[in-house]
A and B are shown apart, each in its own frame.
Chain A
Amino acid sequence: MSALINSIAGIGRRTLEGISRMGYATRFFVSALLHSGTAFRRFGLTIREIYFSGVLSLIIILVSGLFVGMVLGLQGYETLETYGSEEVLGVLVALSLVRELGPVVAALLFASRAGSAITAEIGLMKATEQLAAMEMMAVDPIARVVAPRFWAGVISMPLLAALFSATGIFGGYLVGVVLIGVDEGSFWSQMQSKVDFQDDILNGVIKSVVFGIAVTAIALFEGYDAPPTAEGVSGATTRTVVTSSLAILALDFVLTAFMFRGIS
Protein backbone atom coordinates (compact mmCIF):
# COMPACT_ATOMS: atom_id res chain seq x y z
CA MET A 1 0.00 0.00 0.00
CA SER A 2 2.71 2.40 1.00
CA ALA A 3 4.62 1.47 -2.18
CA LEU A 4 1.61 2.55 -4.23
CA ILE A 5 1.32 5.82 -2.34
CA ASN A 6 5.04 6.41 -2.77
CA SER A 7 4.90 5.82 -6.51
CA ILE A 8 1.94 8.20 -6.90
CA ALA A 9 3.78 10.76 -4.81
CA GLY A 10 6.77 10.23 -7.10
CA ILE A 11 4.64 11.07 -10.14
CA GLY A 12 3.36 14.19 -8.39
CA ARG A 13 6.85 15.29 -7.41
CA ARG A 14 8.17 14.86 -10.93
CA THR A 15 5.21 16.78 -12.38
CA LEU A 16 5.77 19.64 -9.96
CA GLU A 17 9.50 19.67 -10.70
CA GLY A 18 8.79 19.71 -14.41
CA ILE A 19 6.34 22.60 -14.09
CA SER A 20 8.67 24.62 -11.90
CA ARG A 21 11.54 24.03 -14.35
CA MET A 22 9.34 25.19 -17.20
CA GLY A 23 8.36 28.25 -15.21
CA TYR A 24 12.02 28.93 -14.47
CA ALA A 25 12.86 28.54 -18.17
CA THR A 26 10.08 30.98 -19.14
CA ARG A 27 11.23 33.53 -16.56
CA PHE A 28 14.79 33.12 -17.80
CA PHE A 29 13.69 33.60 -21.42
CA VAL A 30 11.61 36.69 -20.58
CA SER A 31 14.41 38.27 -18.56
CA ALA A 32 16.85 37.60 -21.43
CA LEU A 33 14.43 39.41 -23.74
CA LEU A 34 14.01 42.28 -21.28
CA HIS A 35 17.78 42.68 -21.01
CA SER A 36 18.33 42.52 -24.77
CA GLY A 37 18.82 46.29 -24.82
CA THR A 38 22.41 45.63 -23.75
CA ALA A 39 22.90 43.29 -26.70
CA PHE A 40 22.16 46.16 -29.06
CA ARG A 41 23.66 49.05 -27.07
CA ARG A 42 26.95 47.22 -26.72
CA PHE A 43 26.75 45.62 -30.15
CA GLY A 44 30.41 44.60 -29.96
CA LEU A 45 29.43 41.84 -27.55
CA THR A 46 26.82 40.51 -29.99
CA ILE A 47 29.27 40.71 -32.91
CA ARG A 48 31.75 38.59 -30.93
CA GLU A 49 29.05 35.98 -30.37
CA ILE A 50 27.96 36.07 -34.03
CA TYR A 51 31.56 35.23 -34.83
CA PHE A 52 31.59 32.26 -32.48
CA SER A 53 28.19 30.81 -33.32
CA GLY A 54 27.70 32.03 -36.90
CA VAL A 55 31.04 32.44 -38.67
CA LEU A 56 32.63 29.37 -37.12
CA SER A 57 29.60 27.28 -38.19
CA LEU A 58 30.03 28.40 -41.80
CA ILE A 59 32.31 25.55 -42.89
CA ILE A 60 30.07 22.74 -41.67
CA ILE A 61 26.95 24.49 -43.05
CA LEU A 62 28.44 25.12 -46.49
CA VAL A 63 29.97 21.66 -46.87
CA SER A 64 26.85 19.82 -45.73
CA GLY A 65 24.66 22.09 -47.86
CA LEU A 66 26.71 21.26 -50.93
CA PHE A 67 26.54 17.53 -50.28
CA VAL A 68 22.84 17.52 -49.43
CA GLY A 69 22.14 19.36 -52.68
CA MET A 70 24.31 16.96 -54.66
CA VAL A 71 22.54 13.94 -53.17
CA LEU A 72 19.17 15.55 -53.92
CA GLY A 73 20.30 16.07 -57.52
CA LEU A 74 21.33 12.43 -57.91
CA GLN A 75 18.33 10.89 -56.17
CA GLY A 76 15.88 13.30 -57.78
CA TYR A 77 17.25 12.57 -61.22
CA GLU A 78 16.97 8.81 -60.67
CA THR A 79 13.30 9.15 -59.72
CA LEU A 80 12.28 11.83 -62.23
CA GLU A 81 13.96 10.01 -65.10
CA THR A 82 11.40 7.20 -64.69
CA TYR A 83 8.66 9.68 -65.58
CA GLY A 84 10.66 11.39 -68.29
CA SER A 85 10.56 14.74 -66.52
CA GLU A 86 14.21 15.41 -65.65
CA GLU A 87 13.74 19.11 -66.39
CA VAL A 88 11.82 19.62 -63.14
CA LEU A 89 14.92 18.52 -61.20
CA GLY A 90 15.62 22.16 -60.39
CA VAL A 91 12.16 22.57 -58.90
CA LEU A 92 12.57 19.46 -56.78
CA VAL A 93 15.99 20.48 -55.46
CA ALA A 94 15.01 24.10 -54.82
CA LEU A 95 11.67 23.43 -53.17
CA SER A 96 12.92 20.69 -50.88
CA LEU A 97 15.88 22.83 -49.83
CA VAL A 98 14.11 26.15 -49.43
CA ARG A 99 11.01 24.80 -47.71
CA GLU A 100 12.38 22.01 -45.52
CA LEU A 101 15.97 20.88 -45.64
CA GLY A 102 17.58 24.32 -45.56
CA PRO A 103 15.99 25.53 -42.32
CA VAL A 104 15.79 22.12 -40.61
CA VAL A 105 19.22 20.64 -41.39
CA ALA A 106 20.95 23.98 -40.85
CA ALA A 107 19.20 24.28 -37.48
CA LEU A 108 20.16 20.72 -36.50
CA LEU A 109 23.79 21.44 -37.41
CA PHE A 110 23.60 24.78 -35.62
CA ALA A 111 22.25 23.05 -32.49
CA SER A 112 25.07 20.55 -32.42
CA ARG A 113 27.82 22.95 -33.47
CA ALA A 114 26.91 26.23 -31.74
CA GLY A 115 24.21 25.25 -29.23
CA SER A 116 26.40 22.71 -27.47
CA ALA A 117 29.27 25.22 -27.37
CA ILE A 118 27.01 27.87 -25.80
CA THR A 119 25.78 25.44 -23.14
CA ALA A 120 29.27 24.22 -22.29
CA GLU A 121 30.61 27.77 -22.10
CA ILE A 122 27.88 29.11 -19.83
CA GLY A 123 27.86 25.92 -17.75
CA LEU A 124 31.60 26.25 -17.16
CA MET A 125 31.22 29.95 -16.39
CA LYS A 126 28.72 28.95 -13.75
CA ALA A 127 30.86 26.07 -12.43
CA THR A 128 33.90 28.33 -12.09
CA GLU A 129 31.71 30.97 -10.42
CA GLN A 130 32.33 33.62 -13.06
CA LEU A 131 28.61 34.38 -13.20
CA ALA A 132 28.53 34.81 -9.41
CA ALA A 133 31.59 37.06 -9.63
CA MET A 134 29.80 39.22 -12.21
CA GLU A 135 26.85 39.60 -9.88
CA MET A 136 29.25 40.62 -7.09
CA MET A 137 30.52 43.39 -9.37
CA ALA A 138 26.92 44.48 -10.03
CA VAL A 139 27.10 43.24 -13.63
CA ASP A 140 23.95 41.39 -14.57
CA PRO A 141 25.09 38.09 -16.14
CA ILE A 142 21.82 37.84 -18.08
CA ALA A 143 22.46 41.18 -19.76
CA ARG A 144 26.21 40.69 -20.20
CA VAL A 145 26.41 36.98 -21.11
CA VAL A 146 22.99 35.64 -22.08
CA ALA A 147 21.32 38.39 -24.14
CA PRO A 148 24.18 38.91 -26.66
CA ARG A 149 24.40 35.16 -27.25
CA PHE A 150 20.65 34.94 -27.74
CA TRP A 151 20.53 37.70 -30.34
CA ALA A 152 23.65 36.40 -32.06
CA GLY A 153 21.92 33.03 -32.50
CA VAL A 154 18.70 34.61 -33.74
CA ILE A 155 20.63 36.72 -36.29
CA SER A 156 22.95 33.92 -37.43
CA MET A 157 20.38 31.18 -37.94
CA PRO A 158 18.42 32.60 -40.94
CA LEU A 159 21.68 33.62 -42.64
CA LEU A 160 23.10 30.13 -42.17
CA ALA A 161 19.87 28.55 -43.47
CA ALA A 162 19.92 30.80 -46.55
CA LEU A 163 23.56 29.90 -47.21
CA PHE A 164 22.72 26.22 -46.76
CA SER A 165 19.88 26.43 -49.30
CA ALA A 166 21.96 28.44 -51.77
CA THR A 167 24.94 26.06 -51.68
CA GLY A 168 22.54 23.12 -51.81
CA ILE A 169 20.94 24.45 -54.99
CA PHE A 170 24.41 24.99 -56.39
CA GLY A 171 25.25 21.36 -55.49
CA GLY A 172 22.09 20.18 -57.23
CA TYR A 173 23.07 22.25 -60.26
CA LEU A 174 26.57 20.74 -60.25
CA VAL A 175 25.28 17.16 -60.26
CA GLY A 176 22.16 17.68 -62.35
CA VAL A 177 23.41 20.01 -65.06
CA VAL A 178 27.21 19.72 -65.11
CA LEU A 179 27.59 16.03 -64.31
CA ILE A 180 24.42 14.35 -65.64
CA GLY A 181 23.54 16.86 -68.32
CA VAL A 182 20.00 18.05 -67.57
CA ASP A 183 19.21 21.05 -69.76
CA GLU A 184 20.51 24.16 -67.99
CA GLY A 185 17.82 26.52 -69.27
CA SER A 186 14.88 24.42 -68.14
CA PHE A 187 16.61 23.64 -64.84
CA TRP A 188 16.63 27.34 -63.88
CA SER A 189 13.46 28.52 -65.63
CA GLN A 190 11.27 25.73 -64.23
CA MET A 191 12.72 26.51 -60.82
CA GLN A 192 11.94 30.19 -61.16
CA SER A 193 8.38 29.58 -62.29
CA LYS A 194 7.56 27.15 -59.50
CA VAL A 195 9.36 28.66 -56.50
CA ASP A 196 7.43 31.58 -55.08
CA PHE A 197 9.16 34.28 -53.07
CA GLN A 198 6.47 34.69 -50.46
CA ASP A 199 5.12 31.18 -50.13
CA ASP A 200 8.38 29.30 -50.25
CA ILE A 201 11.41 31.49 -49.55
CA LEU A 202 9.86 33.81 -46.96
CA ASN A 203 8.26 30.89 -45.13
CA GLY A 204 11.64 29.16 -45.07
CA VAL A 205 13.20 32.28 -43.54
CA ILE A 206 10.42 32.46 -40.92
CA LYS A 207 11.06 28.81 -40.07
CA SER A 208 14.78 29.40 -39.62
CA VAL A 209 14.17 32.43 -37.37
CA VAL A 210 11.87 30.34 -35.16
CA PHE A 211 14.44 27.52 -35.03
CA GLY A 212 17.14 30.05 -34.17
CA ILE A 213 15.09 31.35 -31.24
CA ALA A 214 14.31 27.81 -30.03
CA VAL A 215 17.85 26.43 -30.30
CA THR A 216 19.56 29.43 -28.70
CA ALA A 217 17.01 29.72 -25.89
CA ILE A 218 17.32 26.01 -25.05
CA ALA A 219 21.13 26.12 -25.19
CA LEU A 220 21.32 29.20 -22.97
CA PHE A 221 18.86 27.85 -20.43
CA GLU A 222 20.53 24.45 -20.19
CA GLY A 223 23.89 26.13 -19.62
CA TYR A 224 22.52 28.55 -17.06
CA ASP A 225 20.64 25.79 -15.26
CA ALA A 226 23.46 23.23 -15.36
CA PRO A 227 24.65 21.79 -12.03
CA PRO A 228 28.06 23.41 -11.42
CA THR A 229 30.05 20.20 -11.78
CA ALA A 230 31.93 18.57 -14.64
CA GLU A 231 29.22 15.92 -14.82
CA GLY A 232 26.46 18.52 -14.74
CA VAL A 233 27.97 20.50 -17.63
CA SER A 234 28.40 17.39 -19.77
CA GLY A 235 24.81 16.32 -19.05
CA ALA A 236 23.52 19.79 -19.91
CA THR A 237 25.43 19.80 -23.21
CA THR A 238 23.91 16.46 -24.18
CA ARG A 239 20.44 17.67 -23.17
CA THR A 240 20.86 20.80 -25.31
CA VAL A 241 21.54 18.79 -28.46
CA VAL A 242 18.76 16.26 -27.80
CA THR A 243 16.12 18.76 -26.68
CA SER A 244 16.80 21.31 -29.39
CA SER A 245 16.86 18.66 -32.14
CA LEU A 246 13.48 17.37 -30.98
CA ALA A 247 12.18 20.93 -30.66
CA ILE A 248 13.30 21.73 -34.21
CA LEU A 249 11.54 18.69 -35.68
CA ALA A 250 8.35 19.24 -33.69
CA LEU A 251 8.24 22.98 -34.49
CA ASP A 252 8.92 22.16 -38.13
CA PHE A 253 5.83 19.98 -38.27
CA VAL A 254 3.66 22.65 -36.65
CA LEU A 255 5.00 25.44 -38.88
CA THR A 256 4.67 23.33 -42.03
CA ALA A 257 1.08 22.44 -41.14
CA PHE A 258 0.28 26.15 -40.83
CA MET A 259 2.26 27.38 -43.83
CA PHE A 260 1.76 24.87 -46.60
CA ARG A 261 -1.73 23.55 -46.01
CA GLY A 262 -3.62 25.74 -48.40
CA ILE A 263 -0.96 26.06 -51.07
CA SER A 264 -1.59 24.16 -54.23
Chain B
Amino acid sequence: MNRALLDLWVGIFVVAGIGALMFLALKVGSMNTVDAKDSYQVTALFENVGGLKARAPIKSAGVVVGRVASISFDDKTYEALVTLNLDKRYGFPVDTTASILTSGLLGEQYIGLEAGGEEVKLKQGDRLKLTQSAVVLENLIGQFLYSKAQEAPTDEGTSNAAP
Protein backbone atom coordinates (compact mmCIF):
# COMPACT_ATOMS: atom_id res chain seq x y z
CA MET B 1 0.00 0.00 0.00
CA ASN B 2 1.51 3.30 -0.99
CA ARG B 3 2.02 6.17 1.33
CA ALA B 4 -0.50 8.63 -0.14
CA LEU B 5 -3.39 6.16 0.07
CA LEU B 6 -2.41 5.29 3.64
CA ASP B 7 -2.41 8.96 4.61
CA LEU B 8 -5.77 9.44 2.92
CA TRP B 9 -7.40 6.56 4.83
CA VAL B 10 -5.98 7.65 8.16
CA GLY B 11 -7.11 11.20 7.40
CA ILE B 12 -10.65 9.99 6.67
CA PHE B 13 -10.60 7.95 9.87
CA VAL B 14 -9.45 10.86 12.04
CA VAL B 15 -11.89 13.30 10.45
CA ALA B 16 -14.76 10.82 10.89
CA GLY B 17 -13.79 10.24 14.51
CA ILE B 18 -13.63 13.95 15.29
CA GLY B 19 -16.90 14.39 13.40
CA ALA B 20 -18.50 11.73 15.60
CA LEU B 21 -17.22 13.55 18.70
CA MET B 22 -18.64 16.83 17.40
CA PHE B 23 -21.95 15.09 16.70
CA LEU B 24 -22.00 13.78 20.26
CA ALA B 25 -21.11 17.17 21.69
CA LEU B 26 -23.52 19.29 19.65
CA LYS B 27 -26.43 17.08 18.66
CA VAL B 28 -26.57 14.60 21.53
CA GLY B 29 -25.24 16.57 24.48
CA SER B 30 -25.79 20.10 25.54
CA MET B 31 -22.89 22.46 26.10
CA ASN B 32 -25.12 25.34 27.17
CA THR B 33 -24.82 24.66 30.89
CA VAL B 34 -24.47 27.99 32.63
CA ASP B 35 -20.85 28.63 33.53
CA ALA B 36 -19.86 30.07 36.86
CA LYS B 37 -18.34 33.14 35.19
CA ASP B 38 -21.46 33.97 33.17
CA SER B 39 -23.75 33.78 36.17
CA TYR B 40 -24.49 35.32 39.53
CA GLN B 41 -25.37 33.41 42.64
CA VAL B 42 -28.31 33.98 44.94
CA THR B 43 -29.46 31.84 47.84
CA ALA B 44 -32.87 30.82 49.07
CA LEU B 45 -34.17 28.96 52.13
CA PHE B 46 -36.80 26.31 51.58
CA GLU B 47 -38.76 24.43 54.24
CA ASN B 48 -38.53 21.29 52.14
CA VAL B 49 -36.71 20.75 48.86
CA GLY B 50 -38.33 17.39 48.16
CA GLY B 51 -36.47 15.62 45.37
CA LEU B 52 -34.62 18.68 44.08
CA LYS B 53 -31.05 17.92 43.05
CA ALA B 54 -27.95 19.95 42.26
CA ARG B 55 -27.83 20.96 38.55
CA ALA B 56 -31.62 20.95 38.33
CA PRO B 57 -32.90 23.69 36.00
CA ILE B 58 -34.24 27.03 37.20
CA LYS B 59 -37.05 28.22 34.99
CA SER B 60 -38.94 31.43 34.67
CA ALA B 61 -41.96 31.48 32.38
CA GLY B 62 -40.82 28.04 31.22
CA VAL B 63 -37.42 29.27 30.02
CA VAL B 64 -34.27 27.87 31.64
CA VAL B 65 -32.52 30.83 33.29
CA GLY B 66 -30.02 29.00 35.48
CA ARG B 67 -29.14 25.88 37.42
CA VAL B 68 -29.12 24.85 41.06
CA ALA B 69 -25.52 25.06 42.25
CA SER B 70 -25.76 23.33 45.61
CA ILE B 71 -28.18 22.28 48.31
CA SER B 72 -27.20 22.20 51.97
CA PHE B 73 -28.84 22.14 55.37
CA ASP B 74 -28.92 25.30 57.48
CA ASP B 75 -28.84 24.33 61.16
CA LYS B 76 -29.89 27.78 62.41
CA THR B 77 -33.28 27.88 60.73
CA TYR B 78 -33.48 24.10 60.15
CA GLU B 79 -34.27 24.73 56.52
CA ALA B 80 -32.64 23.76 53.25
CA LEU B 81 -30.23 26.35 51.84
CA VAL B 82 -30.25 26.28 48.05
CA THR B 83 -27.68 28.19 46.00
CA LEU B 84 -28.93 29.24 42.58
CA ASN B 85 -26.72 30.07 39.61
CA LEU B 86 -28.61 32.54 37.48
CA ASP B 87 -27.61 33.58 33.98
CA LYS B 88 -26.08 37.08 33.90
CA ARG B 89 -28.25 38.01 30.92
CA TYR B 90 -31.41 37.89 33.01
CA GLY B 91 -32.11 40.22 35.92
CA PHE B 92 -34.83 39.59 38.49
CA PRO B 93 -36.42 41.96 41.02
CA VAL B 94 -35.54 41.42 44.69
CA ASP B 95 -39.06 40.27 45.59
CA THR B 96 -38.96 37.34 43.18
CA THR B 97 -40.73 34.22 44.43
CA ALA B 98 -38.89 30.88 44.10
CA SER B 99 -40.98 27.75 44.23
CA ILE B 100 -40.06 24.10 43.74
CA LEU B 101 -42.20 22.61 41.01
CA THR B 102 -42.41 19.29 39.24
CA SER B 103 -42.41 18.85 35.48
CA GLY B 104 -45.02 16.21 34.76
CA LEU B 105 -46.47 13.78 37.26
CA LEU B 106 -43.30 11.75 37.83
CA GLY B 107 -40.86 14.14 36.22
CA GLU B 108 -37.83 15.89 37.67
CA GLN B 109 -38.16 18.80 40.06
CA TYR B 110 -37.05 22.30 39.17
CA ILE B 111 -37.17 25.78 40.64
CA GLY B 112 -39.67 28.18 39.15
CA LEU B 113 -39.03 31.91 39.54
CA GLU B 114 -41.88 34.39 39.47
CA ALA B 115 -40.84 38.03 39.21
CA GLY B 116 -42.25 40.55 41.67
CA GLY B 117 -42.87 44.26 41.23
CA GLU B 118 -39.76 45.85 42.77
CA GLU B 119 -37.48 48.08 40.73
CA VAL B 120 -34.29 46.91 42.48
CA LYS B 121 -32.65 43.90 40.82
CA LEU B 122 -31.09 40.90 42.52
CA LYS B 123 -27.33 40.86 42.68
CA GLN B 124 -24.58 38.39 43.60
CA GLY B 125 -25.04 36.97 47.11
CA ASP B 126 -28.62 38.16 47.69
CA ARG B 127 -31.18 35.97 49.38
CA LEU B 128 -34.65 35.31 48.03
CA LYS B 129 -37.18 36.02 50.81
CA LEU B 130 -40.26 34.49 49.23
CA THR B 131 -40.04 30.75 48.74
CA GLN B 132 -42.51 27.96 48.33
CA SER B 133 -41.54 24.43 49.27
CA ALA B 134 -41.87 21.30 47.26
CA VAL B 135 -45.17 19.50 47.40
CA VAL B 136 -44.69 16.26 49.30
CA LEU B 137 -47.11 13.66 48.05
CA GLU B 138 -47.60 12.07 51.48
CA ASN B 139 -48.55 15.42 53.06
CA LEU B 140 -50.93 16.09 50.21
CA ILE B 141 -52.62 12.74 50.65
CA GLY B 142 -52.68 13.33 54.43
CA GLN B 143 -54.40 16.69 53.97
CA PHE B 144 -56.86 15.18 51.54
CA LEU B 145 -57.75 12.37 53.94
CA TYR B 146 -58.03 14.85 56.82
CA SER B 147 -60.43 17.08 54.92
CA LYS B 148 -62.43 14.04 53.81
CA ALA B 149 -62.64 12.90 57.43
CA GLN B 150 -63.97 16.30 58.41
CA GLU B 151 -66.58 16.21 55.65
CA ALA B 152 -67.72 12.71 56.52
CA PRO B 153 -69.86 13.41 59.69
CA THR B 154 -71.97 16.07 57.95
CA ASP B 155 -72.64 13.61 55.09
CA GLU B 156 -73.82 11.07 57.63
CA GLY B 157 -75.86 13.72 59.38
CA THR B 158 -77.83 14.52 56.25
CA SER B 159 -78.36 10.87 55.35
CA ASN B 160 -79.58 10.15 58.87
CA ALA B 161 -81.92 13.11 58.82
CA ALA B 162 -83.60 12.08 55.56
CA PRO B 163 -85.76 9.13 56.68
Query: Are A and B subunits of one complex?
Result: yes
Q: Which residues from chain A sit less than 8 Å from chain B, CB to CB?
A: 44, 47-48, 50-51, 54-55, 58, 94, 98, 156, 158-160, 162-163, 165-167, 169, 188, 191-193, 195-198, 200-201, 205, 264
Given the known A-B contacts A196-B30, A264-B53, A264-B55, are A51 and B9 also in contact in the complex, defined by CB atoms under 8 Å? yes
5 contacts between A and B (CB under 8 A): A159-B13, A166-B23, A191-B28, A200-B29, A205-B21
A25 vs B4: C-alpha distance when bound (angstroms): 36
| B41 shortest CB reach to chain A, Å | 19
Nearest neighbor of A50 in chain B, beta-carbon distance: B10
Interface residues on B, range: 20 to 34
Check B7 against A201 for contact (C-beta < 8 Å).
no
Given contact pairs A159-B13, A192-B30, a sample of 10 additional A-B residue pairs in the complex whose CB atoms are under 8 Å apart: A50-B10, A55-B9, A98-B24, A159-B17, A162-B20, A166-B23, A188-B27, A197-B25, A197-B31, A201-B29
Known contacts A159-B13, A163-B16; A196/B24 CB under 8 A? no
Q: Is B158 at the interface (CB under 8 A from chain A)?
A: no
Does more than half of chain B's interface fall in helix, strand or loop, or is it mixed? helix
Contact across chains for B29 and A195 when beta carbons are under 8 A apart: yes
Chain B 1-23, CB within 8 Å of chain A: the 1/0 string?
A: 10100110110111011111101
A169 to B14 alpha-carbon distance, docked (Å): 20
Q: Is the CB of B6 within 8 A of A51?
A: yes
CA distance A48 to B10 in the complex (A): 8
* Nearest Cβ on chain B to A82's Cβ, whole angstroms: 13
A54 to B28, alpha carbons, bound, how many Å? 24
CA gap between A200 and B55 in the complex, in Å = 14
A51 touches B10 (CB 8 A): yes
B33 within 8 A of A: yes
